[in-house]
Amino acid sequence: MGEPGAGAVVLFLGTVRDNSEAGSVDRIEYEAYEPMAEKRLERVEEDVFRRWPETRVVKIVHRLGGLAVGEVSVAVAVSSPHRAEAFEACRHVIETIKHDVPIWKRERLADGRELWVEGTPAAPWKDKKDRPIHTHGTSKNHALRN
Amino acid sequence: MPIRVKVLYFGQARDAAGTGAEEFSLPSTSSVGALVNVSTKAHQLLQGMSASMRIAVNEEIAREGDRLSDGDVVAFLPPVAGG
């Protein structure tokens, strides 16, 4: 992440929490529609460079499969010349992952129940003129890992 | 000539359908909406979910009126919850 022109690196780690609205959580199982999730993560990165052109590096890793309380499920790192845009861009990436990338999670609760977490309907990706956004297939700064 | 499409179910939709993947044969020029009707007829539990479900065709979100082609991959996507 470190670059001579970067004065800020913001790292966000999402971790498995031991509780949710449903109760006490033991672990979470993540699954993805992998090829589509890869495409969307790529678009998220491209979007960061469009909105914050001074961004130096963006990296995203989302884990899949079963994770225990306290484990890291997602990591986002952004480096920029200054902290303000690094924070903004990092925030933008994690919010987009939560709302627009086809990943689902099922909580296994301490009482034995298994519940899908209620999410957000994924929206089509459009630019301001309602044209579909396409990726360039160049970015390799993201990963889905078990 | 009928067309064949592969259908993928994720998350709650997979539980409701009782399978992660299957194939449907449809009349040519069938729409996404027609495929959804065929699928929800085959899997009653999917019916209650259809309002919040999004449909992707070949990994892009599709509209109900979009036409399907032979070999398309259609995915039923419940509301997403990454992170």
ipTM: 0.94
The Cα–Cα gap between A84 and A22 comes to: 36
DSSP state of B18: T
Smallest CA–CA distance, residue B16 to chain A, in Å, is 12
Closest residue by Cα to residue A62 from A70, A53, A71: A71
The Cα–Cα gap between A38 and A56 comes to: 21
Closest residue by Cα to residue A30 from B7, B20, B83, B16: B83
Nearest to B61 among A32, A120, A123 (CB): A123
pLDDT in tens, chain A (146 residues): 888 999 999 999 999 999 998 999 999 999 999 999 999 999 999 999 999 999 999 999 999 999 999 999 999 999 999 999 999 999 999 999 999 999 999 999 999 999 999 888 877 766 556 665 555 555 567 888 87
The Cα–Cα gap between B39 and B27 comes to: 14
Output the CATH code of domain B3-68: 3.10.20.30
Identify the architecture of domain A8-117 in CATH: Alpha-Beta Complex (3.90)
Establish if A5 touches chain B: CB-CB under 8 angstroms: no
Count how many pairs of residues, chain A against chain B, have C-beta atoms within 8 Å. 82
Distance linking the first and last C-alpha atoms of chain A:
23
Cα-flanking dihedrals φ and ψ of residue A94, to 5°? Answer: -70, -35
- What are B23's strand-pairing partners? B6
Both structure tokens of B62: 């599709």
Residues in A closer than 8 angstroms to B59, CB to CB, are 33, 35-36, 39
